[in-house]
């Protein structure tokens, strides 16, 4: 109940923050475009859903542990002792540096996907790059943070105003103008390339075909396609059809975009927020590798960081698991036995019962 | 749809270490080129007995519960799948927490992968690759009544890890009349700095540590451990 209340508060706080950002960023709503009200309302609903879902997820014991440790380790100076209060023998890089590196490698370059497959990496770069570009353009436009206006009464010259500050000006016949006015179309092409590659993989990969589900794996592709196709339809309408059907496509596009925004927090697309945990994990592993190590109580092998083993014991307790063994010899926690020994113990225990 | 009549039965004591399961496992479509099965030496210093370990597909999977990213999902058939690629943050919580030591962390991929009972095959009524090729019946996939007719051991799917009960989809063959496999750790630890010695246990059960061909040559007949069951066995009341 407490976690639900916290999630409701987080969702409401994110809505208020978005509302404030819209009000302030648009100059007291002076530059807010009423035609985009539907998108703004959809964004506010999505903000609530993201805040709610993220808080529920981040409060689960294993997620909470990583976020807690991530924050502790980020602000810990290099070479200081680990939270387990055992001294780290080798100084580790300062948290912010590791975090920045992890951010660039995992979020921007998505290097871990390249290692999983080159084609898959290209597909994901097209999809995430295209979507990020589109969001980076539309959110500021919808919220009224950016607007274009003629420069000094000259309709041939445009000025870009961001948060009330003149940031750029260009001729409407320039290359820059072409690129700026077509950025959403460029992002749509990128996304379409990614969608084709993703669809091909979903149709031909035997493993994916066996494990994929319609709601988890196919619906997001369909929704992204709907947004992309209807967005391009708007361009086709005003460029080649003299605006015919523009009003209808505008409504359909808005419905598709809002549906996607509301789908994100409750689907696999939520991984764009969940992967923030990987930043904490990067730091955690870095510190763990140079800090005290856990050695298996059966074989003596170094199998994890002591911090990791201790934290997992806490997490297991919080989840209601109790893997403690006690007997005449004493008490041991199963987390102190390495995975390889656990596999051996399975055979030993089975063999014991059948006398082999 | 998995065939409800077919179940997986594991009997590590029958393993002959041929590695056929390891080779076949890598043919599975859901983890092509990567063998997910473990083939462990039970206690290499004292014997050559090996044991295959597949995912037991727990009813309440510890690996999924300790995952910070909700990456491990259990489907409607009780199959616990490899970590979802978009979500896995490669933290290794699942690897360290699994009571059977099953998940594998592919560090080169930043991804946890594990046995999914060859879901591309079992979901359409075929046998898992490992069970298809196992020549000794250590890995068996079939009907319960068929294995009951062939073996004297009884399949159980409940394990008692100290104070924790774990129920699984995969069955383990144990002594007749057993309802659960009591999992003991303390007896197999090197207490007080002493290494684990299977000969000092009352026939600890490491399948061939005391009676394998490797040791028979070196042991006088009088020193061979008697072939009888452990303290938890109920087969010889």
| Chain A residues closer than 8 Å to B76 by CB | none
DSSP string, chain B: ---TTEEEEE-GGG-----HHHHHHTT-GGGTT----EEEES-TTT---EEEE----BSS-HHHHT-TTS---B-TTSPBPPPPTTT-----HHHHH-TT---EEETTTTEEE---S-HHHHTTTPPPHHHHH-SSSSEEEEEHHHHHHH-SSEEEEEEEETTEEEEEEEEEEESTT-SSEEE--GGGS-GGGPPP-GGGSSS---TTTTTSHHHHTTS-GGGSPP----TT--S--
Q: What is the pLDDT of residue B96?
A: 96
Please tell me the least confidently modeled range out of A53-62, A272-281, B39-48, B128-137: B39-48
Distance CA B15, CA A318 (A): 38
- Do the Cβ atoms of A308 and B161 come within 8 Å? no
Look at residue A98 in the predicted model and tell me its pLDDT: 67
How close is the nearest chain B Cα to the Cα of A293, in Å?
14
Residue A156: its pLDDT value, please?
87
Integer CA distances (angstroms), B58 to B55, B83, B157, in order = 8, 15, 9
- If you count residue pairs, one on A and one on B, with CB atoms under 8 Å apart, how many are there? 246
> Domain count of chain B?
1
The answer to whether the CB atoms of B53 and A352 lie below 8 A apart is no
Cβ pair A343:B116 closer than 8 A: no
Residue B145 within a domain = yes
Longest dimension (CA), chain B: 60
Which of A315, A340, A346 to probe by mutation at the B interface, max B CB count within 10 Å? A346
Residue B197 within any structural domain of the chain: no
- Residues 6 or more apart whose Cβ sits within 8 Å of residue A188: A130, A134, A228, A231, A232
Average pLDDT in the A316-320 region?
97
- Average pLDDT estimate for A33-50: 96
A-chain residues within 8 Å CB-CB of B164? 321-323, 334
Q: What is the mean pLDDT of residues A281-308?
A: 91
In a domain, B117, yes or no: yes
Q: Do A298 and B190 touch (CB under 8 A)?
A: yes
Residue B29's domain comprises 6-174
Q: What contacts B218, CB < 8 A, 6 or more positions away?
A: none
Contact B35, B22 (CB under 8 A): yes
Report yes or no on B180 lying in a domain: no
CA–centroid distance for A68 within its chain: 18
At B237 the pLDDT is 41
Q: Find chain B residues with C-beta within 8 A of A278's C-beta.
A: 69, 89-90
* Buried/exposed A106-144: b ≥16 CB within 10 Å, e otherwise: bbeebebbebbeeebbebbbbbbbbbebbeebbbbbbbb
Angstrom CA distances, B105 to A335, A342, B89, B94, B114, stand at: 17, 16, 11, 9, 9
Q: B144 lies in a domain? A: yes
Mean pLDDT of chain A, nearest integer = 90
Q: Give the chain B residue nearest A348 (alpha carbons).
A: B206
Closest-CA distance, B3 to chain A, in angstroms, reads 15
pLDDT in tens, A77-104: 544 444 555 544 444 445 556 677 777 8
Q: What is the pLDDT of residues A112-157, one digit of tens each?
A: 899 989 999 999 999 999 999 999 999 999 999 999 888 877 888 8
Q: What ipTM describes this predicted complex?
A: 0.85
Contacts of A277 in chain B (CB under 8 A): 68-69, 89, 91
Q: What is the CATH number of the domain that holds B120?
A: 3.30.70.20
Q: Is residue B196 part of a domain?
A: no
pLDDT value of position B21: 96
Residue B189 included in any domain: no
Q: How many CA atoms, within 13 angstroms, populate the side-chain half-sphere of residue A109?
A: 10
Q: Which pLDDT value is given to residue A312?
A: 97
Tell me whether residues B40 and A343 touch, CB distance under 8 A. Answer: yes
Give how far B195 is from chain A: nearest CA, Å. 8
**Helix axes of A246-263 and A37-58: crossing angle, nearest 10 degrees:** 10
B93, B101, B98, B122: which is closest to B29 by C-alpha? B122
Could you give the CA distance from residue A274 to residue A172 in angstroms, rounded to a whole number? 41
- Quickly count: other Cβ atoms within 10 Å of residue B126's Cβ: 15
Residue of A nearest to B110 (CA): A112
Closest CA of chain A from B6, distance in Å: 18
Cβ contact, residue pair A112, B110, below 8 Å? yes
Contact criterion met (CB < 8 Å) for A66 and B67: no
**Which residues, in sequence order, are CB contacts of B219 under 8 Å at separation 6+?**
none
User: Which of B66, B90, B174 lies nearest to residue A316, judging by beta carbons?
Assistant: B66
Residues of B in contact with A346 (CB under 8 A): 12, 51, 53, 100-101, 172, 183
Strand B111-113 vs strand B104-106: parallel, antiparallel, or unpaired? antiparallel
The pLDDT profile of chain B, 237 residues, written as one tens digit per residue, is 455 689 999 999 999 999 999 999 999 989 888 999 999 998 877 788 899 999 999 999 999 999 999 999 999 999 999 999 999 999 999 999 999 999 999 988 889 999 999 999 999 999 999 999 999 999 999 999 999 999 999 999 999 999 999 999 999 999 988 889 988 888 888 765 555 555 444 444 434 333 333 333 334 444 444 444 444 444 444
> What is the SS3 string spanning chain A?
CHHHHHHHHHHHHHHHHHHHHHHHHCCCCCCCCHHHHHHHHHHHHHHHHHHHHHHHHHCCHHHHHHHHHHHHHHCCCCCCCCCCCCCCCCCCCCHHHHHHHHHHHHHHCCHHHHHHCHHHHHHHHHHHHHHHHHHHHHHHHHCCCEEEEEECCEEEEEEEEECCEEEEEEECCCHHHHHHHCHHHHHHHHHHHHHHHHHHHHHHCHHHHHHCCHHHHHHHHHHHHHHHHHHHHHHHHHHHCCCCCHHHHHHHHHHHHHHHHHHHHHCHHHHHHHCHHHHHHHHHHHHHHHCCEEECCCCCCEEEEHHHHHHHHHHHHHHCCCCEEEECCEEEEHHHCCHHHHHHHHHHHHHHHHCC
């Amino acid at each position: 109940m407490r976690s639900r209340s916290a999630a409701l508060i987080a969702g409401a706080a994110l809505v208020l923050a978005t509302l404030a950002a819209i009000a302030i960023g648009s100059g007291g709503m002076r530059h807010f475009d009423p035609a985009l009200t539907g998108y703004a309302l959809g964004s506010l609903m999505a903000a609530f859903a993201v805040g709610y879902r993220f808080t529920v997820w981040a409060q689960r014991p294993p997620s909470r542990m990583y976020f807690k440790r991530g924050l502790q380790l980020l602000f810990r100076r290099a070479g200081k002792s680990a939270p387990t209060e055992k001294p780290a023998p080798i100084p580790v890089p300062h948290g912010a540096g590791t975090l920045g590196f992890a951010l660039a490698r995992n979020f921007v370059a998505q290097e871990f996907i390249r290692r999983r497959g080159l084609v898959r990496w290209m597909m994901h770069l097209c999809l995430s790059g295209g979507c990020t570009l589109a969001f980076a353009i539309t959110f500021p436009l919808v919220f009224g943070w950016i607007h274009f206006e003629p420069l000094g009464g000259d309709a041939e010259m445009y000025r870009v105003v961001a948060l009330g500050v003149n940031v750029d000006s260009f001729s409407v016949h320039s290359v820059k103008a072409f690129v700026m006015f077509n950025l959403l179309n460029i992002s749509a092409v990128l996304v379409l390339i990614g969608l084709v590659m993703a669809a091909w993989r979903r149709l031909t990969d035997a493993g994916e075909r066996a494990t994929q589900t319609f709601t988890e794996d196919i619906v997001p592709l369909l929704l992204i396609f709907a947004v992309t196709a209807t967005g391009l339809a708007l361009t086709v309408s005003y460029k080649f059809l003299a605006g015919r059907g523009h009003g209808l496509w505008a409504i359909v596009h808005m419905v598709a975009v809002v549906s996607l925004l509301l789908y994100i927090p409750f689907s696999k697309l939520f991984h764009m927020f969940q992967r923030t945990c990987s930043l904490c994990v990067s730091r955690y592993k870095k510190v763990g590798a140079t800090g005290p190590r856990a050695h298996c109580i059966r074989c003596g092998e170094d199998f994890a960081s002591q911090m990791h083993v201790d934290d997992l014991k806490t997490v297991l307790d919080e989840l209601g698991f109790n893997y403690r063994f006690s007997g005449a010899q004493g008490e041991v926690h199963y987390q102190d036995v390495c995975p390889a020994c656990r596999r051996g113990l399975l055979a030993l225990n089975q063999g014991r019962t059948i006398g082999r | 749809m998995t065939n409800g009549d077919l179940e997986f039965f594991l009997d590590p004591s029958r393993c002959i270490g041929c590695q056929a399961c390891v080779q076949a496992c890598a043919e599975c479509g859901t983890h092509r080129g990567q063998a997910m099965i473990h083939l462990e030496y039970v206690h290499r210093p004292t014997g050559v007995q090996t044991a295959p370990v597949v995912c037991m597909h727990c009813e309440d999977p510890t690996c999924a519960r300790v995952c910070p990213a909700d990456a491990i999902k259990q489907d409607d058939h009780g199959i616990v799948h490899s970590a979802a690629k978009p979500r896995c943050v490669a933290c290794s919580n699942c690897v360290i927490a699994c009571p059977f030591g099953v998940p594998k962390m592919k560090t080169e991929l930043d991804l946890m992968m594990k046995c999914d009972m060859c879901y591309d095959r079992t979901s359409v009524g075929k046998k898992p690759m490992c069970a298809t090729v196992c020549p000794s019946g250590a890995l068996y996939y079939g009907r319960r009544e068929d294995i009951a007719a062939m073996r004297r051991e009884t399949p159980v799917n409940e394990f008692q890890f100290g104070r924790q009960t774990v129920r699984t989809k995969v069955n383990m063959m144990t002594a007749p009349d057993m309802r659960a496999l009591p999992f003991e750790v303390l007896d197999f630890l090197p207490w007080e700095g002493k290494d684990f010695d299977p000969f000092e246990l009352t026939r600890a059960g490491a399948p061939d540590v005391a009676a394998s061909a490797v040791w028979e040559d070196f042991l006088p007949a009088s020193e061979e451990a008697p072939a009888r069951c452990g303290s938890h066995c109920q087969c010889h009341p």
